[in-house]
């Protein structure tokens, strides 16, 4: 698989480490009343989508950036690549 890095252009997926679902950006509020449930969902439960999946890849052997890759889990086609920090900021979170 070739991941089209927004800053560095097309890179082999072998340069990356895979973390998992992009939902992991949205860490629950630790002061919430439902914190135990929230963190159980966040840490352990997955959508495990068959189709377009939003996921986090880390460019370990490159510029060390986190990318948010939208990839089809049935065909391995990569549909979209964004910098995870841009997505995180657009959600009102820090980088």
Partner 1 sequence: MSNTRYSAFKVLKEALTGHKGWEPVWRDAEPKADGYDVIIVGGGGHGLATAYYLAKNHGITNVAVLERGWIGSGNVGRNTTIIRSNYLLPGNEPFYELSMQLWENLEQDLNYNAMVSQRGIMNLIHNDAQRDAFIRRGNAMLFADAGAEYLEAKDVKERYPFLDMDNARFPIKGALAQPRGGTVRHDAVAWGYARGASDLGVDIIQNCEVTGFNIENGVCLGVKTAKGDIKANRVGVCVAGSSGRVMAKVGIKLPIESHVLQAFVTEGLKPVMDNVITFGAGHFYCSQSDKGGLVFGGDIDAYNTYAQRGNLPVVEDVCSGGMAIMPIVGRARLLRMWGGIVDMSMDGSPFIDSTEIEELFFNGGWCYGGFKATPASGYCYAHLLATDESHEVATAYRLDRFRRGAMIDEKGVGAQPNLH
> Whose Cβ is closer to partner 1: residue 72's or residue 85's?
72
Which DSSP state fits 56? E
Q: Which two tokens stand for residue 16?
A: 């990356």
Q: How far is the CB of 45 from partner 1 (least distance, A)?
A: 5
Complete edge-to-edge strand list for the sheet that includes strand 66-72: 17-21, 52-58, 66-72, 78-83
Binding mask 36-75 for partner 1 (x = CB under 8 A): x---x--xxxxxxxx--x-x---------------x-xxx
SS3 state at 25: helix
Contact criterion met (CB below 8 Å) for 4 and 79 = no
CB of 47 to partner 1, least distance (A): 6
Does residue 32 bind partner 1 (CB under 8 A)? Answer: no
| Residues of this chain that bind partner 1 (CB under 8 A) | 1, 12-14, 18-21, 36, 40, 43-50, 53, 55, 71, 73-76
């Amino acid at each position: 698989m070739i991941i089209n890095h927004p800053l560095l252009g097309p890179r082999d997926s072998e340069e990356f480490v895979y973390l998992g679902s992009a939902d992991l950006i949205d860490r629950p509020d630790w002061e919430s009343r439902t914190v135990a449930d929230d963190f159980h969902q966040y840490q352990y439960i997955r959508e495990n989508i068959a189709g377009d999946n939003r996921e986090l890849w880390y460019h370990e052997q490159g510029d060390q950036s986190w990318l948010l890759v939208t990839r089809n889990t049935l065909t391995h086609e990569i549909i979209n690549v964004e910098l995870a920090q841009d997505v995180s900021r657009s959600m009102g979170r820090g980088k």
